[in-house]
């Protein structure tokens, strides 16, 4: 009987694995997270009788693949601040370097409509909707975004970026419920993701990275100890030479007496 149950459950396991992989591919999240987001697949498999799983494997596969699409959207929206409706976006380009500029596009009511980032000298694709009304925030060298504030209503109404130099730049109108996020000590903004509708940006998420100047666990540079030793040795050598000159002068004075 256990062997028979195992054989009958094989289609269920296949459907489960396929659904989990679909969740991973559709959502862009890593394997452990996609497994967690698809835990209901295990529950449905356990509570489904083996014979029905075998007979209805085609229908079960279609159902679970549909649920995988829904789970993918849900998992992607887990780290989004604000509204989680609309289409998901992720701004690629962080491999090209640090963020050097942020461009926000506005609606007629000055709500946030689209967003674009400049990595080094390269602008990313626009996420959301392009508009002739926009503002830019330019960052100086060695300047990074370390904290973001904002407000949300029916749309994303405002964003305020705060840098390690103490600079603050605000987009939009500060109206609605507040949102705030920072990466923590020694971290700065690497890129942005979020949700958008045909009308405006709905929600926003942030990916943080450690500062390249000081990473946790990175060895602290040590000065050249050999050079220091040589400098100390040369210093003592010069002092010894001065002492010898003083002794010679004293001997000469004694001879004259």
Note the pLDDT tens digit of each residue in 5-57: 443 444 445 544 555 455 444 444 444 444 444 444 444 444 444 444 444 55
- CA-CA distance, 116 to 123, in Å (whole number)? 7
- Does the structure show a pLDDT above 50 at 69? no
Residues in the chain: 257
Q: pTM value?
A: 0.60
- CA-CA distance, 156 to 173, in Å (whole number)? 9
The pLDDT assigned to 42 comes to 43
Beta bridge partners of 194: 89, 204
Note the pLDDT tens digit of each residue in 177-228: 999 999 988 999 999 999 999 999 999 999 999 987 544 454 544 445 455 4
With contact defined as beta carbons under 8 Å apart, do 67 and 19 qualify? yes
The pLDDT assigned to 32 comes to 41
Q: Which two tokens stand for residue 134?
A: 């926009």
- Does the structure show a pLDDT above 90 at 72? no
Q: What are the C-alpha distances in Å from 153 to residues 169, 177, 196, 211?
A: 20, 7, 13, 33
Residue showing tokens 């370097």: 97
């Amino acid at each position: 009987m256990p062997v028979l149950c195992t054989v009958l459950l094989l289609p269920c396991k296949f459907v489960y694995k396929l659904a989990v992989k679909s969740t991973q591919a559709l959502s862009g999240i890593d394997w452990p997270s996609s497994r967690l987001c698809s835990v209901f697949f295990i529950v449905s498999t356990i509570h489904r009788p083996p014979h029905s799983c075998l007979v209805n494997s085609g229908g079960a596969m279609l159902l679970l693949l549909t649920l995988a699409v829904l789970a993918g959207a849900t998992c992607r929206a887990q780290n989004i601040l604000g509204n989680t409706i609309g289409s998901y976006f992720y701004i690629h380009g962080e491999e090209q370097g640090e963020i050097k500029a942020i461009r926000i596009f506005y609606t007629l009511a000055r709500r946030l409509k689209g967003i674009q980032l400049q990595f080094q000298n390269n602008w990313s694709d626009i996420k959301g909707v392009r508009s002739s009304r926009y503002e830019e925030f330019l960052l100086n060298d060695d300047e990074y975004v370390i904290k973001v504030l904002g407000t949300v209503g029916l749309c994303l109404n405002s964003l305020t970026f705060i840098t390690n130099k103490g600079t603050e730049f605000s987009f939009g109108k500060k109206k609605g419920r507040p949102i705030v996020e920072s990466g923590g000590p020694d971290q700065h903004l690497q890129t942005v993701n979020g949700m958008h509708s045909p009308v405006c940006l709905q929600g926003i998420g942030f990916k943080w990275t450690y500062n390249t100047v000081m990473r946790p666990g990175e060895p602290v540079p040590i000065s050249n100890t050999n050079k220091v030793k040589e400098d100390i040795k040369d210093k003592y050598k010069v002092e010894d030479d001065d002492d010898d000159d003083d002794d010679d002068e004293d001997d000469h004075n004694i001879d004259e007496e």
